[in-house]
Structures are given as C-alpha cells and as structure tokens.
Homo-oligomer: A and B are copies of this chain.
C-alpha cells in the first residue's frame, strides 16, 4: 500500500500520482464508480475495465443488510463475490445510516437504526464497521463517520465532527488487517474552523488517506469549493485526498484544481438511468423530442461503445420504451465520459497544461444550473421514499 505524487501542476494545486494497492495500481486523480450493492448498476466488471475504471466502491451499509456480511464472507470476500478483481473501496456506511436508514438513536457507543428495506433494527459501532469491512476485504476501507445534513447550526455540526473524530480513533484501534488502508473522514460542514479541528485531529492520529465528507449535500458550489480548498491545506501532501460525493464534470475540475486525488459519486450513473447524458457542451436529456430522429452519436468524438455503435435516436427510442438496454448504454456513456475526462486531466497535469485544458473544457461546457440540480435532487428523494419494490 503506497501513494506517490508523480507531478504537481505549477499553477494550481492539481497533482497526478499513483496509488498502489494489493489488487493493482490506480493512477490519480481518479473517479471511482459506485457499486453500492456489489454491482455498478447495469454493468459487468468486464465492461468497467473496458471503460477505463481502475477502482470501484461498494457500500458496507447496503451489503450488511443484503446479502449480509456472513454471506459475502462465505463466498470469499467482496472481490470474489462480485467478480471485480481490481482495487476496491468500501464506504463505511456512515453516510447511508444518517441519510438512508430510519435513525433511532445516535450516541458515542454507536448508531441504532432501522433498515430502509424492511424496517428491521440494527446497531452499528465503529468497531463493527471495521470488522465488517475487514471481512468484505476491500483495499481501502473508510472510518465510520457521523454525517449530518447540510445545516448552518454550528453546534450540531461540531458535535457530529467531534464524535466522528472519536470514532475514527476507535476504527484505527480495532483495525487488524495490514493489507487494507484505513482512511479517516474529515467532517465539519461549511465551517472552516471545524474543518481545521477535524483535519488536525485526524492527521495527528495518522491515517493512510483522508476523505472530505459532508460536502455536496446541497450547499452552493462556491461554498463546496472554498471548504475543499481550505481543508486540503490542513492535510499532508504525501497522502491521498478523497472528496466524497463529487462527480459532475465541472466539479471534478474544481476538486482536481484544489488538490483532490480521489472522487466518487453516483451522479454519472444515476443521471444516466434517468436519461441525462454528458456531452462536451453540457448535459443532454435524451428523452427530448429533438433526439427522435437524431442520426449522430450522443456526443460527437466520444469513444464509448454506445457512441461508436448507436445513434441518439436509438437511445431516445430505448428510453421512450423503458427498455433495459437504455440504462446500460447511457451508463456506459456517462462513465466513459468521466473516465476519459480524468485520463485527460492526468495527461495535462503531467505535461504541465492542466489550467489551459480546464479552461478550454469549461468554456464549451454549460453546467447544469442550480435550479435543475435542486429539482433532480428532490425527484431522487421522492423516489427514494417509495417502497423499494416499486422502484425501477
């Protein structure tokens, strides 16, 4: 397990590096596709490799509930269970327990919650969380954190941050496997002073990597960027920095510019399944009537399987018919778009031209406005509130 910074951009904090894990090497900065329930929705491991994915993420909360940690243990660990033989991260489940489950009680001991699937009651502690992640066997495991919603209540955020730091220490103490890297998660909301305290506390414990949690939760983008910028300043240069929950093209640029090495987000895959497709001009809605007989690819110049083989009209048809292939072809496109963007960022960091690459990309790219982002988030929350069996 090692991390090496190979090149730093002379104009921004962007840097390229190499993360070495027991299951392979990951060039950074890197985007990590999310395979919440031991599958990146609709895709095979084979396809992920061909899209350029070098590392993916699974979720302890979901896998604990289904199929159960003991099943994956019996099947030989998460890598073998899901047929992914490359580097793997498991998220600790902290974020999910606080956002997805029905919370019953939080104390220093741990979290009592009810499953979002069947309402069954469970108690999760930092120690159990590490134990589960050791059984799952990912290359990178995450400390159990308390992730409060976006709020301006400083005291609430401070309390959660301090508990997160105490839990981080307990995670560190209970970790036994030496072939897994444990990352701490910096909390503190949008309060710079809290971020500083959190970062200092974690770095004094010493983790193999540092994640920035509690961002991309609905706060304005300028706030996210400012917090990232400030927080990175409190973190060591020689350890990987992981910005959790960020995945839009414009946000990836902002994170990389500020010295982030690792990103994960469901955004590219989730919006794909809703028919939102990345192009070099911005996000397109494939159900729009103008694509009905559009005889070109979604994004001119894209090298993905979808764009090389199918017209936008065909994709439009598949979405209109709610055909299963639609989710897949759209997911392939969006993930490849992001993977290729990261490849290009790495290349431009290496040859010293990152700022001009960033400028030229963002000049042509119209980001989705806050209003649409907000509407999409609400749509998603509504959907999440439906019974699981009703979801598509």
Contact = CB atoms under 8 A, between A and B. Distances in A.
Among A82, A293, A313, A317, the most chain B Cβ lie within 10 Å of the Cβ of A317
A325 B75 contact: no
Nearest to A117: B321
B74 A38 contact: no
A347 interface: no
26 contacts: A38-B314, A39-B318, A39-B323, A42-B324, A42-B325, A44-B305, A44-B325, A44-B328, A66-B320, A66-B321, A67-B292, A67-B293, A67-B320, A71-B313, A71-B317, A75-B293, A75-B295, A75-B311, A75-B313, A75-B314, A76-B295, A83-B310, A322-B389, A322-B391, A324-B328, A328-B328
Interface in A247-302: 273, 292-293, 295
A365 interface: no
Interface of A: 37-39, 41-46, 66-67, 71, 74-76, 81-83, 273, 292-293, 295, 305, 309-311, 313-314, 316-318, 320-325, 327-329, 388-389, 391-392
A194 to B, nearest CB: 36
Contact of A42 (B317, B321, B328): B328
Contacts of A305: 44, 46
